[in-house]
Structure 1
Amino acid sequence: MLYGIAAATSALLLAAFLAALFRLPALRLGIVDRRRQRPLPLLGGAGVALTTCLVVAAWEWAGVAPLGSEIRRLLIAAGAVALLGLVADVRRVKARFLLGGTAVAAACVVPYGETGFLFGVPAIGWIVVVSLGFKALDHADALAGTVGVVTAFGVGVCAAAEMMDELAVLLSVLAAALTGFLMHNWPPARIGLGSCGSLFIGFVLASSAVMTRAGHPPAASAGVLYALTALVTADVLLVVVSRRLAGRPLLRGGPDHLAHRLRRLGLTPPGAAVLLGVLAFSGVLVGVLVHMGWVSRSSAYWVGVGALIVVLASLRIKVYGPRRQPSFPRRGPVGTSTRLASTQVRG
């Protein structure tokens, strides 16, 4: 108990310090998100990943809490995913490389001995979807961090219930690191997660949830895993369906996420982050209660129904502007192009 509190406190302070420290180098090196109204430095996620790994490794080195082989493998794979995301922050990387690298890392952490190969493959796909879903959530200030904190606490409670103390401590350290980061990421954000931090968070949370549910009935596990990440998966589903209906490329960014649509309804950036955090907490709470056996497994399926209703309602909010029609030069009577000249009145 005392170890967990000390580790979480250390992670919170170190993450807050690194977020402030990395801001200026990110601006000078040009590691920024230029899609926003102002360039936002993106090394905050590197601080979260570095803090999580350092704090957990330091306590193991001190002999206070030795890590098992599964936790070491998880940290190594998550570090590799974070490094891949950092490369994507520094220079442009195609989405298929991010997807493929995350899938390879996920294949290294799935406990096949308990899930079996038949259910291990869907687990890999789910880890990839959640990891990329957290990357997509990083389009708004404080959103990915808030949802990450809520999800980390929920998965940590499930891990503690399974007597997986090392995993529970890892998740508490991650939640504390994200809390320290949010001190600098709350709107208006002074630093962002970037692909490095968002992929790291999603990968650790999804992999930890799979490890926690390993050995349980597959149908019940699917419901719990979905409930724990209902907001992330609902946002992914909304974006995919919206872009398909509009005939837009799936990998092209756009103002079509849940937070964007809430802003269209008049919510402020902090208000959207808080509301989506509350929705994420609702799904996480149901997932934890089902995992503990305190409510029936059908409750997790109702979370899916609620998420589907949110997606369908959000589709009615228009976010795309009219398409631009291609312009062609007009032809004169003799087949030559004519130009439209603007008339100027000179005094």
Structure 2
Amino acid sequence: MNAAGLFVFALLVSWCSTAVIRCHAARLGLIQIPNHRSSHVQPTPQGGGIGMVVAGTAIGLYLGAGQGIFWWSLINLSVLIALVGLLDDIWQFSSRLRFSIQVPVFIALVAACAPLRPLPLGGDITIEGYVLYALTVLAGVWWLNLFNFMDGLDGYAGVQALFMLMAAVVLSAVHSPSSVDVPIWLLALALASATLGFLFVNWPPARIFMGDVGSTYLAFVIFGVALDTIMQGWMTYASWLVLSSVFVVDATLTLLRRMKRGERWLQAHRSHAYQRLSRRFGKHSVVTKGLVALNLLWIGPLAYGCQRLSHVAWIFILMAYGPLIYAAIRIGAGRSDAS
């Protein structure tokens, strides 16, 4: 099956599976009831991310012949992460239980990727070895949870995942045209297609949410794709740092300000910058479309700059993060829900 066939297959599988979940959500216990901390007002089916899991896993198995330990670790561990997310959607696990599963999963994934490419800090200074392993595991766990935190508006997490995956596809192909025949490139393309299939029913006003099963699965596989593209030399740590900047800034700044006030920072809230914007504009679609525009017009070109001018990547990182931090502070990311 060629790239076009994989794209169509993943899209159809995701869209059809999501439709099935939507029809049986009540029976499966996958109805999200709004509360005072929600950004929606109507009971809505969740768990639509199962469609992306089915499509991504099927493609992973199809492409897996002859692949090594990292490939099979990524596919198998992503299913485990998705299963935990699904059970969490139904029964609401404690944060301690979720972390007790996530940490060893990321340790296993990073170990399977060994040896990691050294992380350059400028000049002759690099981070490598066990320090880099530890930082990568911590980054993975934080990325998984922050992506889940940012899944709070119709279409919001979906368009971010679609953007990051397609950016990886394009940037990798530009840097190394032969990458289009490599399984990890095809997996990224197929998962982007599966995400698009889900967005058909998640675009504002959403008819179903992806749930933790979808958000944690997407975050985990995106992290795996990032690791592999870095190891292949197609992309850099800096370019991925830029591609993730919108979510990283909002989630991290919100977390730090809530921790500073002594709040229970893992408790659900509505103080992210994107949540404040949705209340200010009165609709999800404005914020989601704004994310699309921001990524395409600003973040994407900066990530490309990191690729082309890697020796001055720090300039592009500052250009991405500086304005985002300023904007998030002005919007009120992390301020008390009552303020």
- Change in CA separation of 1:121 and 1:60 when aligned onto 2, cut-off 3 Å: closer
Paired position in structure 1 for 2:209 = 192
Map 1:67-216 → 2, pairs under 5 A: 67-110=67-110, 111-115=113-117, 116-160=129-173, 161=175, 164=179, 165-214=182-231
Write the letter of the residue equivalent to 2:114: Y
Q: Secondary structure at the match of 1:239?
A: helix
Deviations 1:316-336 (A, max 9, x none): 7966227xxxxxxxxxxxxxx
Deviation at 1:14, TM superposition (A): 1.1
Deviations 1:150-188 (A, max 9, x none): 011122334443555211111111100000000111111
Write the letter of the residue equivalent to 1:239: T
Matched, 1:256 2:260: no
Q: Secondary structure at the match of 1:13?
A: helix
CA distance in structure 1 between the aligned counterparts of 2:251 and 2:287, rounded to whole angstroms: 17
Write the letter of the residue equivalent to 1:69: I
CA distance in structure 2 between the aligned counterparts of 1:7 and 1:170, rounded to whole angstroms: 9
Q: Secondary structure at the match of 1:114?
A: coil
CA distance in structure 2 between the aligned counterparts of 1:318 and 1:183, rounded to whole angstroms: 33
Q: Secondary structure at the match of 2:269?
A: coil
User: Rg larger in 1 or in 2?
Assistant: 1
Contact 1:243–1:249, Cα closer than 8 Å, also in 2 = yes
Write the letter of the residue equivalent to 2:274: A
Paired position in structure 1 for 2:37 = none
TM-score (norm 2): 0.84
Paired position in structure 1 for 2:248 = 233
- Change in CA separation of 1:178 and 1:295 when aligned onto 2, cut-off 3 Å: farther
Q: Which runs of 5+ in 1 are unaligned?
A: 323-347
CA distance in structure 2 between the aligned counterparts of 1:104 and 1:158, rounded to whole angstroms: 31
Deviations 1:25-84 (A, max 9, x none): 2122221222342222222111111111113323556xxxx5443222211111111111
Map 1:43-62 → 2, pairs under 5 A: 43-60=47-64
Deviation at 1:221, TM superposition (A): 4.7
Contact 2:202–2:209, Cα closer than 8 Å, also in 1 = yes
Paired position in structure 2 for 1:285 = 301
Contact 2:152–2:275, Cα closer than 8 Å, also in 1 = no
List structure 1 runs of 4+ shifted beyond 6 angstroms: none
Question: How many matched pairs?
Answer: 314
Paired position in structure 2 for 1:33 = 32
- Change in CA separation of 1:181 and 1:148 when aligned onto 2, cut-off 3 Å: same
Q: CA RMSD in A?
A: 2.4
Q: Using the aligned pairs only, state the percent identity.
A: 21
CA distance in structure 2 between the aligned counterparts of 1:126 and 1:316, rounded to whole angstroms: 21
Contact 2:271–2:334, Cα closer than 8 Å, also in 1 = no
Write the letter of the residue equivalent to 2:106: A
Q: Secondary structure at the match of 1:180?
A: helix
CA distance in structure 1 between the aligned counterparts of 2:134 and 2:171, rounded to whole angstroms: 22
Write the letter of the residue equivalent to 1:113: P
TM-score (norm 1): 0.82
CA distance in structure 1 between the aligned counterparts of 2:78 and 2:141, rounded to whole angstroms: 12
CA distance in structure 1 between the aligned counterparts of 2:57 and 2:232, rounded to whole angstroms: 27
